[in-house]
Structure 1
Amino acid sequence: MAVRIPVRIVVLVLVVPLRLGWDALVVSGAFLRRALRPLGRALDRFGVQVLVPVARAVVLLAEGLATACWWLLRTLLYRPWVLLWRYLVVPVAVHGVATPAAWLYRTLLAPLGRGLARGTAWAYTRLLTPLGRGTGALLRAVLVRPWIALWRYVAVPVAAGTYRWVLTPVGHGLTRLARSAGKVLGTAFVLLDRGLPLLARGVGRLLRVLLVTPAVFLYRAVLTPLGRFLAVIGRELVDALAVAWRVAGHVSLAVGRVLRLLAHHLIGRPAAWFYRGVCTPVGHLVRDALWRPARQAAAEAGRAVSAALAAARATVSAARRDARRALFGGPREPEPVPGVPGRARNLGGAASRQTVPGAAAESEITP
């Protein structure tokens, strides 16, 4: 208890600001998530509905341009060279170069080659083969046989005598020397085998007195009580952290509620009153006094401009019809059929009804 209460007080003082900061970060993250999620969805829809079709259109345009460029290059550069090679270079090379070359080969080069081959075979059989055999026999007699005799009658006896009279006695002496050295080393190993255990026992007792006994005393008398004390402190510290975290959560919740109430009374309610009492009447006044009259005036101005443009177009059309009539004359009048007045009158009425409006206006104006 003497350790638990101070530790919990200290941990609570240290943990409360951390918990408040953590809760503030959590609330900020939730606010940002709620605020940025619609923006992300809008960007997603914009990318899917605008950027992706634009990218596809750009890709299709690039593919079309690449295909057109490839077709153009193939048509302008590749096909002419292929046709030139196929129908000009190859026939000229075959009929202009290959045929004379074949005739030259059959007429001159083939007989000359056969004559050279026969002469070469005769020279090889009659000249080079006897010359080579004589040269081989001479080289064997001059170079090979003296070395064989030197090896057989000089090198082999000398090597045999050296092995028998020099190397064999030296080897026997070295063998006896190795046996003697082995006996001496065996004796030394036996002595070491008997002396090393005694030396190891002495060193072990010395190490036990100087190192093991102080280490055991230090572990039992110092480290064990210190570890138990630190274990108790650690458990109490962990429990204090858990309790302080829960208490800090309640404190953070209370602080959040207070801040929310303060924000509601200091910012939300004045803002709502300002919106309802000031912005809404001002907006209605602006809408009724300025926006609607301005929109109506703009609509009337647009209608007046449209009427003026329509009158101008009608005037220009009438001027064009008058100019065409002055240059090319009016429409041709139908001739009445003799003997049938009513029919002529009806045909005339139908013809007058089929004329263009300009002609009708001219007939009404002309006396």
Structure 2
Amino acid sequence: MELEKRPEGRPQEPPRRSDPEGCVAAVVRVPVRIVALVLVVPVRMAWDVLVVAGRFLRDTVFRPAGRALAWLGRLLFVWPLVGIWRYAVVPLGKGVAFLGRVLLVVPAVWLYRRVLTPAGRGLYAALAWLGRYLVVVPAAWLYAWLLTPVGHALAWCGRGLAWCLGLIATGVGAVLYWTTRVLVVLPALALWRWVLSPVGRVLAVIGREVVDALGHAWRIAGYVSRAFGRFLGTLWRWTVAEPARWAYRSVLTPVGHAVRDTVLRPVADAGRAAGRVTRQALAAARLTVRQTRADVRRALFGEPVKPRPVGRREPSVAEARTLGSSTTALTKD
């Protein structure tokens, strides 16, 4: 056991390699990885470019186009079919079902209950007696006295024939087994053990190394492509984005503020003042025209007649009864 104490004077043996294909793997690994790296890096970079272009097209072209096509499909196909199914097929199907029930099911049920069932009950006894003495009794006699002995004889003959065929098949099978074992199985086993198995191990090692090399190359190419993309992004940032941002912040923004403070804002204030003066002038002109028109009308037609005020006070109860007089019909002379 591993937990037991090793003897002090005995040196520890180095661990043995359990991989029998170590030499082949060591010989194949480095060249295959170099070739795979050289071949895979351009493919990975092209793949990354295609992925970025595909995502851009998906977000800007394919997804809006898909939504538009889906909406158009619903408009042209789904909604018309739903309308046809809901307002044409379903009512028509209900009508056909109702007609079938009224014209077929109900008459058939009535015919079965009122006609066929009583007729079947009246014929049942006669049919049962005829069936018993014309079918059941002859069939039982035929089975007991003819078919049973014949079946036993045929079964005995079949068992003997099966025993003979079993002996023949056993002998033929033994001959075929040994012939096939000597002529096919043993050569195939030797070929597999001494030729195909070693070649297969070597090919398996080579294939595993090729697959591992492709995986390593793909990952390294991903790092290279990512680094190249970051380099392009940094180059774009420091050659285009940062100068543009600096120009916007340091040049365009102060110039814009200066233009706003020295040109646009005074022009706007002057425009507002001019508009205010214009509105005041127009209001004064309208007031002058109105007064002039009133003076001309007064000079031509005179002062307008003011309406006389009319008393709108309601009469009291006594005034309403006496119609405004101080006497009544009882006190009049």
Normalised by the length of structure 1, the TM-score is: 0.42
Higher relative contact order (CA 8 A, sep 6+): 2
Structure whose alpha-carbon radius of gyration is higher: 1
